[in-house]
Each structure stands twice: as structure tokens, then as C-alpha cells.
Amino acid sequence: MLEVTSIKKGIVLDHITSGNGLKIFNKLMLDKVDYPVVLLMNVSSKEKGRKDIIKIENRIDIDLDFLGLIDSNITVNIIEDNKIIDKKKVKIPSRIKGIFTCHNPRCITNFDDSAFPTFKLVSEKHLEYRCDYCEEITSYKL
């Protein structure tokens, strides 16, 4: 089995749904950084059979709403001195600010820079959000 030893200081995104790892790696633009990063895909998981993991050897800010939107199974482990000092479970955000744009081409948020797109969750199952401006429903896809 492939395993990665602990990191000294940084962030571990654990329990990523198998197959989502590379998409998250790309979204976080981890191929552009200059510190060590590791992507593990299809490693065995007690709970889920298989999972993906991302290890980041640096303390960076990660938008938990963004992660929750992509994959609400993720656990974020914060590592200091080889130990987990904090563990955060992400969840599907009830409100979204600026992560995606409104699908309605006539919505003011798509042509007026001062109208910043914000949304309210209306369906967890389908990841559907209602625009605060035009009330159009936008569903998020990774």
C-alpha cells in the first residue's frame, strides 16, 4: 500500500471522495506552488473503501466553503510539529459569496462589478443555490 508519512507543518485534506483529488489539486492550483505537495488517489479507506488525500507542506489559507461545495466529505487536518493540532469537517455552505457566477446572463451581477454575486442554498442534494439579486437557481458542478 502506498502511504505518505506525516508532514511536519501544513495541511492534510483527508477523506476526499475517490476521483475528486486531482480536481481539487487543480482548483487549489497546487502545481504552481514551490513547497512540497502530494496527491494520493485511490488509497484504501476503512470507511469508504477508497479515498483521495492531499498533503500540503505549508500553512496556507483554504476556503472551507469552497471545499465544502466541492466535496462535503473532506476533513481538513492542520499539522504543527508532526501533530494534528486542529481538525475541521467541511460542510455544504448555506451561503455562497463569489465562488461562482449567476447562470442568468441578464442578472446584474454579470455586468455590474459593484453587484457582487451572492447565493443562498436551496437544495443540498443538487447543490442548487438561489441568486440574491435575480432569484435564478444555479446548480454547482465541480
What are the residues binding a copy of itself (CB under 8 A)?
Answer: 1-5, 7-8, 19, 21-22, 25, 30-31, 33-44, 55, 57
> Whole-number minimum distance, CB 104 to a copy of itself, in Å?
32
- Closest to 99 (Cα-Cα) out of 118, 73, 120: 118
Least gap, CB of 47 to a copy of itself (angstroms): 17
Smaller CB distance to a copy of itself: residue 11 or 131? 11
Shortest approach of a copy of itself to residue 43 CB, angstroms?
A: 5
Nearer to a copy of itself, 40 or 99 (CB): 40
Least separation in angstroms between CB 102 and a copy of itself: 30
Pick from 137, 135, 132, 128: nearest CA to 117 = 132
What is the spatial distance between Cα 74 and Cα 38, in angstroms, rounded to a whole number?
Answer: 16
User: Could you give the maximum distance between any two Cα atoms of the chain, in Å?
Assistant: 52
Residue found by looking up cell 447543490 in the block? 127
